[in-house]
Amino acid sequence: KIGEFALVVFTFFLVVFTGGLWFSTHRLWIGGERQLIATQRPWVKVNKIVPSSALVFDDNGATLTLAVTVGNYGNSPGLRVRIDASIIASNEQNVFQAQSEFANQFRCPAQPDTPELTAWRNDGIEMPVVAKMDAAELRRCQEIAAKSNFPVLALTIIGCITYEFNFTEGWHQTGLL
C-alpha cells in the first residue's frame, strides 16, 4: 500500500511540475515574440513635408497636395505604407485628439486602389499626398471667422502613416501633425 501511495504522490507532483513547466515555457514564448517585434520591427517616420500645390478652395472644401518623404529606421521593411492627411482649423480644437480620431479610421486593410509602397531599411521614399478639408470643416472655419473682427485661422495638417510588417498581424501607425 505504501508503494501505491508513493506512486500517487509522485504522479501528483509530476503533473504539478509539468503544468508549471508548460506555463513558464508559454510565458517565455510570448516574451520572445514581444522582443522580436520590439527589436526587429520597422520604424517608419516622416522625414519631410513640402507643399507642392496651392491651397485650393471649392464648394466641397479645400485641398492641398503635399510631397511627403518618409524613412524607415527599423530593422525590417515596412510593408504597404500608406499616408493619409487632412486639413483642419486648429482654432478651438484639440489637435492631438483630432489627429488620433482621424488616424483611427485607417487602422484597416488598404482599399484595392490605394497607392502603397514598401519602405526598406534606411530608405527614404517620397509620396504625393492630397490633404483635404471637407465641407463641414470649411463651414466651421467660416463660423470662426464670423465671430471675430480680426479673423485668423490656424490651419493644421493632420494625418497618419499606416504600415504593416511581415512577422506580426495588424497595422502600425506614425502620427503626422
Beta strands in the chain (DSSP E): 44-51, 56-58, 61-72, 78-89, 117-119, 124-134, 155-164, 172-176
**How far is it, in rounded angstroms, from Cα 36 to Cα 17?**
28
The gap from C-alpha 49 to its chain's centroid, in whole angstroms, comes to: 18
Ramachandran category for residue 92: left, alpha or beta (phi over 0 → left; psi -120 to 50 → alpha):
left
The tens place of each residue's pLDDT in the chain, 177 residues long, gives 888 889 999 999 999 999 999 999 999 999 988 888 888 888 899 999 999 999 998 888 899 999 999 999 988 888 888 899 999 988 778 899 999 999 998 887 777 776 678 888 888 888 899 999 988 888 888 888 888 777 678 889 999 999 888 877 778 888 888
pTM: 0.75
Give me 118's grid cell: 514598401
DSSP 103-150: HHTTSSPPPTTS--EEE-TT-EEEEEEEEEEEHHHHHHHHHHHHT-SS
